[in-house]
Every structure is written in C-alpha cells, then in structure tokens.
Chain A
Amino acid sequence: MRRLALWLGAALVALLLAMALLSLVWTPYDPTLVVAGQRLQGPSAEHWLGTDAMGIDVFSRILVGAQTTIVVGVVSVSIAALLGVPLGMLAGQAGGWVDEVVMRVTDIAYAFPALLLAILLAARFGASPVTAMTAIGLATIPSFARVTRAGTKQVMSSDFVLAARASGTRWPGVSLRHVLPNIAPLIGVQASVTFALAILAEAALSYLGLSTAAIVPTWGKMLRDAQSVMFNAPLQALWPGLAIALAVLGFNLLGDGLRDLLDPRLREVS
C-alpha cells in the first residue's frame, strides 16, 4: 500500500517515456498528414482514437505530443534546478543578509507564476516554445531555492558537518561532500513535482496559443483544437486531456512516493 504511489508513478512516467521513444521511430500515421476525406472520425480499427478536424490520426498526435511534453519538462526543470539549487545552497550556508536577499527575491518571484511570466515574455519576444520553457523554468526557481535552503540549513546544523568544519574543511568542500549528497533526494522530489507543474503550465500555454506556433503537436494545442468542435466530437477533448492528466499524475505520484521513502517521520510505526 505504502509503495503504491511510488510504483504507480514510476509506471506512468515510464509509459510517457516509452510513448515518446516509440514516436521517434514509429507512429501509425504521419502526425502531420492532413487527409481531407476523413475528418472527425470516431475510434476504429484503422484509427484507434479516431481522427481530428483536419483528418489527422489522433493516436499519432498523442504519441508525438509525449515528446514535446518531455522536452518542455526536462528543459524547464533543468533551468529551475540549475539556478534554484545553487541559490538555495548559498542562502542556507551563508545565512545573514545573503539569505535575506535571496528570500526576498523569491518572495517577489511568487507574484509571477509560470503563466503570468510566460504572458509577459510572449508579449515582448513573441509566443514560442522557448519563451514558454524559459518562463516555466524561471517561475519555478523559487520553490527549488526554498527547498534547497531548508535542506541545507538542516544539514549544516547536523553534527557531522560541524565535525567536518571543526576539522578544517572549507565551505566548497562541505557543500560538495556533505550538503549536496544529503539534499539530493529532496531535489529529486522537487524535480518530479516541478515536472508535473511544467506539464500543466505548458498545456495551458499551448491551449492559450502562447507556446507553439508551428505544427508540432502538443496535447494542450490538441485541446484547443478540440474545443472548437466539442459540440460534434466531444471525444476529441478526451484523449489529450487524459494524456496530460496521466502524465501529471505520474510525476506527482513519483514525487510523493519518493518523499514518503525519504521521510522517516511519515513511517508511523506505533
């Protein structure tokens, strides 16, 4: 029971990865091939999930959409982690005014969630996947910084770090040898949860037409297309929505499962 979240999450994430990898080498049909004669067909033996308003095979588009989802997630999470983790470690180790400045900057950043930042960047630089990923990455820096800071503070006050510092280890050594390995699991949890957040944010941005301009299929854009035909073909909205929900669920469960695994407080024995 306790490991259910972890395994279910891992399975869903693995499924997402498998879909993306599969779509690199094979899709049932060309995901950009417009066939005029077969618009909005229901599920059938030829088209498992039917065809969309342009006659494109929906299943093929879902498969290719997995690629976009992973790319957006990996890039956003990397931006957030690469900037947020050092910032959090700095704040947690330096303390004092450095800590105060970092925390106040993250306070400001909380007023700009991914979507608002993406809107701001899209207005200035034009809507593109790059602005979307940048916005999501930048907007999730604060949560990485806060988690890292809290973890760092905890590690820094532990006896083994005190011992290491007492025996003359300088701070880069302490950071790399003691702090980073100890907070790595925390960062892993945060990365998983942020990945889920990035998928949702990207879906919303594509839906609003603020991410992809090109024909690259994304699940959010498929929902946008589906909305215009929802009175005739409600199933069109089901598949991409389901794909988004399962991917987000997977990363959230994975994050939760990892957290339970790490947090001994949650393992209530008696």
Chain B
Amino acid sequence: MRILAFVARRLAIFAVSLLGASVLVFAVCAALPGEVAAIILGQGATQAQIDALSAQLGLDRPAVVRYAEWVGGMLRGDFGTSYFTGQSVVQLMSPRIAVTLWLVLFALLLSVLIAVPVGMLAAMKRRSWPGFVASAAAQLGMAIPAFWAAIALVLVFAVGLRWLPANGYVPFTTSVSSWAAHLVLPVVSLAIVQAAVLVRYVRSAFIEVLSEDYYRTARAVGWRPFPALLRHGLRNAALSLVTVIGLQLASVLVGAIVIESVFALPGLGSALLDAVSQRDLMIVQSVVMFLAATVLLINFVVDLSYAWIDPRLRTEVEP
C-alpha cells in the first residue's frame, strides 16, 4: 500500500525530529549541571554553594539520566518546575496557551485569506500594473518588521482613532467582544507581514499553473482565465502551498512571541521572555521544546494532508 508506506515514513521522520529537537534543547539548557546552578545563584557564588545546589536539585546526576527524566516527564504531561519559584511549568503554561493559540490561528488564517487572492492577481496580471502593484506591496510588506507595523497600528487605531485597545488581553470567557477587540491589532500586525511572504509563494505557484498544459486545456474548452485558475489551479497550487504554510507556522509562532511583547499579551511568548530575563532555564527549556514540538507536529500533519490533496498518493496506480 503506497499510502501506508508514506504515512509510516512521515511518522518515523516526525519521531526522529522530535528526538533531535529535544536533544538539542537539553544540550543547550541543561547538559552542564554546574553552569545551571551557577546561573541560578548568580555572580559571587562559591564553588561549594554551586555544588550544594546542584546536588539539591539533582543536577549532579549523569546528563543521560536527567534527559530521560525530562523527556519521560513531558510524555506524562509533566514539564518540570521552575528553578526559582518552584511553580510547575504546566501550571504556568496552561492559561497562556490559549492566548498564543488564538493569536497564531487567526493570524495564519487572515494571512492566507489575504495572500491567496492577492497572489493570484499578481500571477495573472504580472505583465500589467495590477500585478506590479500587488508584487510591490508584497515586497514592502516583507520588509516591515512586524513589531513596527504593530506600533504603527497602535498609534493609528488605539491612540489616534481610539477604536481599539492599545494592549492587554481579556479571556474569551469573560467577554467575547472585549476578547475580540483586544486580539484585532495583534492579529492584523502579525498577519500582514506573513501575508506578504505568502503572496510571493502563491504568485509563483500560480505562475507555474499558468504554464501548465492542463491550464491551457481548461482555457481551450471554454473556461475564462480566472475561473480556470480557480477550478484547475487552486488544488494543484495547494500542493506546493500547503508545505509553505506549514513552514510559515514556525515564523508565525516566533512572530507571536514578539507581538505578545508589543501588546503585553499574557501568552507563551511573554512567559518565555520573562523566563529568559530571569534566566529560569527549566521554563525556557520546556517552553522552547513545546513550541518546537508544535511546529514539528503541524508539519507532520501537513505532510499527511498531501495524501488527501494529491490523488496520485491516495489511489493505487493501475497498470
């Protein structure tokens, strides 16, 4: 079975990637026990103090044991505890995941909704001014730092027009309208930059379609250019775009860290940045691993979606 072999291979790659990512994160954050204790104690700590703390935290055991403990804990849903406050990382993360999730989800959705029509326009009209304008807008959008766009949007819509709140977050359960209002500016500022990057991929994917024989066939049987592209191009272009959108997720997630900081949103990103400034390595280690695992998981799902989009994988080839 072609499709089973395909899924099995993807699953194996996903597992190996998770393993590799966890080793990398662990190696950076926790491989050398003495340094962890030294960082916690800060400058001026004596070697005896460092050794004592290392022993107290169980950091003097071999790295392999601690790695196995960390990974084993995560598989059971235990992401460790903060070295400073003793709070469990899961407790810290759980209310924040929703904030980041909404931000990333809506931003990705909005960027696709902007990028697909604009990219199609840029492809079809690439020799005349509408295409040129669309491509130029994408170039400009790519050059703008998301946090700068965020500051500009705050200045206009929050400070100037007073339509929307400048920062902060209200949970969905408290007030839906307030929740939405607080998310608009962060989502838009994250989405426009991502959309600009996507437009270029959409454009080249559709330019490819325009030169395909099946597009010419569609035109020859009487489809007009735009419907032909929608009917016979979208699915084919999606084959290459789905991968791109999967890869984009990593940059949206990372962009969210910055945007959360601009708008003071209590998401995973701001927790991560707080932990970095306090050098709370346990939190950093587990949150970074969580984010990386999410990216790998999404890319795994994206890979699987090929089997659904591309009939060449879904069906058996008959002689």
Listed in ascending order, the chain A residues whose CB lies under 8 Å from chain B are 104-105, 107-108, 110-116, 119-124, 126-127, 196, 200, 203-204, 207-210, 220, 223, 226-227, 230-231, 234, 237, 241, 244-246, 248-249, 252-253, 256
Contact = CB atoms under 8 A, between A and B. Distances in A.
22 contacts: A104-B13, A107-B299, A108-B296, A111-B293, A111-B295, A111-B299, A112-B292, A113-B251, A123-B279, A124-B284, A200-B145, A203-B145, A204-B258, A207-B147, A208-B261, A220-B145, A227-B151, A244-B145, A245-B140, A245-B143, A248-B142, A248-B144
Contact of B275 (A123, A231, A249): A123
A199 to B, nearest CB: 9
A222 to B, nearest CB: 11
Contacts of B155: 230, 234, 237
A120 B148 contact: no
A111 B273 contact: no
Q: Which of A105, A116, A256 has its CB near the most chain B CB atoms (within 10 A)?
A: A116
Contacts, number: 134
- Contact residues of B: prevailing secondary structure: helix
Given A111-B295, A252-B142, A244 B148 contact: yes
B17 interface: yes
A107 B298 CA distance: 13
A119 B151 contact: no
Contacts of B299: 107, 110-111
B29 A204 contact: no
A223 B146 CA distance: 12
A119 B143 contact: no
B227 interface: no
Interface in B10-38: 13, 16-17, 20-21, 24-25, 28-29, 35
Given A111-B293, A116-B250, A223-B148, 4 more contacts: A115-B258, A116-B254, A127-B276, A209-B277
Contacts of A116: 250, 253-254, 257, 288, 291-292
A248 B292 contact: no
Interface of B: 13, 16-17, 20-21, 24-25, 28-29, 35, 39, 139-140, 142-148, 151-152, 154-155, 159, 247, 250-251, 253-254, 257-258, 261-262, 272-273, 275-277, 279-281, 284, 288, 291-293, 295-296, 299
Contacts of A121: 28
B17 A104 contact: yes
Q: Which 6 pairs between the two chains have the least Cβ-Cβ distance? A: A249-B143, A241-B148, A248-B143, A123-B284, A111-B292, A108-B20
A119 to B, nearest CB: 6
Given A107-B17, A253-B139, A113 B250 contact: yes
Contacts of A210: 276
Given A110-B247, A113-B251, A204 B21 contact: no
Contacts of A226: 151
A246 B143 contact: yes
Nearest to A114: B254
A244 B13 CA distance: 38
A73 B148 CA distance: 20
A260 B155 CA distance: 38
Nearest to A231: B159
